[in-house]
């Protein structure tokens, strides 16, 4: 078992990287059985078919050759699935968030991405463009359910971009991105890849520019369970994310901002849905 002294040193290291670069990776935060439980739950959900309002897969015949229509992301699974809610409020994830936020975290959103071979990526963006947390910003916990790297469309991010304002996006290239909004990499900054093993969790600030490229592997999924959080001092959030949850599962309603929507609005949705 890791000593309390080494655990404290690790926590300080994560906090220092998060403060200086806007992100940090906690390796092996989820155990192998936990990863397996999440994977099987969502693969069974896919086998069972659509869940109105949250998950709308279609058959291969109906997909028009777009694999993401067969394997779309699952939105807000914590609202209808107890396992998703339990992992959104996972004590170890909440503890890291409390260290990084320096206050009690509250949970706003959960998502599951299948990202099978051939799937498009998600253009570079900033999460708080969508969540609109005020004051402060949101923070993401991106849990790798499969190994994730450049080949299968792992997360790319821009270190230091957490110090930037929310940028005004332009229209992304629909041939490589399923989402519409894209921001430029600021001059003097660069995009770097993250390489994650199953069970690793990537935490990043809501202003960090990040995204992913298409899954160009022959047979590797890049499944991930992603949740967004704010600090307890937040007073406003996009209405799409209400109600939030405290770490003990209590509902919490913030002042709603109606000009918001899912994190990454998809091509084919109304232009005003951010």
At 37-78, the pLDDT tens digits run: 999 999 999 999 999 999 999 999 999 999 999 999 999 999
Domains of the chain: 4-257 (2.60.120.620)
Cβ(149)–Cβ(205) below 8 Å: no
| CA-based R_g, the chain, Å | 18
Specify the higher pLDDT residue, 256 or 271: 256
Where does the pLDDT of residue 9 fall: very low under 50, low under 70, confident under 90, or very high at 90 and above? Answer: low
Global pTM reads 0.92
The angle, 0 to 180 degrees and rounded to 10, between the axes of the packed helices 4-21 and 91-101 is 60
Q: What is the pLDDT of residues 21-40, one digit of tens each?
A: 999 999 999 999 999 999 99
Per-position b or e across 151-177, b if 16+ CB within 10 A of its CB:
ebbbbbbbbbbbebebbebeebeeeeb
Where does the pLDDT of residue 214 fall: very low under 50, low under 70, confident under 90, or very high at 90 and above? Answer: very high
Q: What is the pLDDT of residue 267?
A: 54
Q: HSE (CB half, 13 Å, CA atoms) of 218?
A: 0
Q: What is the pLDDT of residue 56?
A: 96
Q: Which helix (H) or strand (E) holds 127?
A: none
Where does the pLDDT of residue 260 fall: very low under 50, low under 70, confident under 90, or very high at 90 and above? Answer: low
Would you call the peptide bond into 44 cis, given omega within 30 degrees of 0 as the criterion? no
Which range in 4-18, 71-85, 246-260 is most confidently predicted, on average pLDDT? Answer: 71-85
Q: HSE (CB half, 13 Å, CA atoms) of 252?
A: 23
Q: How high is the mean pLDDT of the chain?
A: 92
Main-chain dihedrals φ then ψ at residue 34, nearest 5 degrees: -65, -45
136 to 72, 139, 204: CA distances (angstroms): 30, 10, 14
Alpha-carbon distance 8 to 171, whole Å?
A: 43
Q: What is the pLDDT of residue 258?
A: 74
């Amino acid at each position: 078992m890791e000593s309390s002294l080494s655990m404290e040193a690790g926590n300080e290291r994560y906090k220092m990287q998060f403060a200086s670069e806007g992100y940090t990776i906690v390796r092996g935060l989820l155990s192998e059985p936990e990863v397996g439980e999440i994977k099987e739950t969502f693969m069974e959900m896919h086998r069972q078919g659509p869940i109105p309002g949250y998950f709308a897969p279609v058959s291969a015949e109906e997909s028009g050759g777009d694999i993401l229509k067969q394997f779309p992301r699952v939105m807000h699974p914590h609202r209808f699935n107890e396992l998703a809610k339990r992992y959104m409020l996972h004590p170890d994830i909440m503890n890291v968030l409390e260290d990084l936020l320096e206050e009690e975290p509250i949970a706003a959103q959960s998502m599951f991405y299948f990202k099978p071979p051939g799937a498009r990526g998600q253009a570079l963006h900033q999460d708080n463009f969508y969540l609109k947390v005020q004051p402060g910003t949101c923070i993401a916990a991106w849990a790798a359910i499969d190994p994730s790297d450049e080949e299968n469309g792992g997360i790319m991010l821009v270190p230091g971009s957490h110090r930037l304002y929310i940028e005004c996006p332009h229209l992304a290239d629909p041939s490589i991105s399923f989402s519409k909004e894209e921001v430029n990499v600021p001059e003097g900054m660069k995009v770097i890849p993250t390489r994650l093993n199953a069970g690793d969790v990537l935490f990043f600030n809501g202003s960090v520019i990040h995204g992913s490229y298409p899954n160009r592997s022959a047979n590797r999924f890049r499944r991930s369970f992603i949740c967004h959080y704010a600090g307890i001092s937040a007073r406003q959030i996009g209405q799409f994310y209400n109600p939030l949850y405290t770490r003990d599962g209590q509902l919490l309603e913030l002042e709603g901002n109606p000009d918001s929507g899912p994190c990454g609005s998809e091509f084919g949705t109304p232009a005003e849905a951010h």
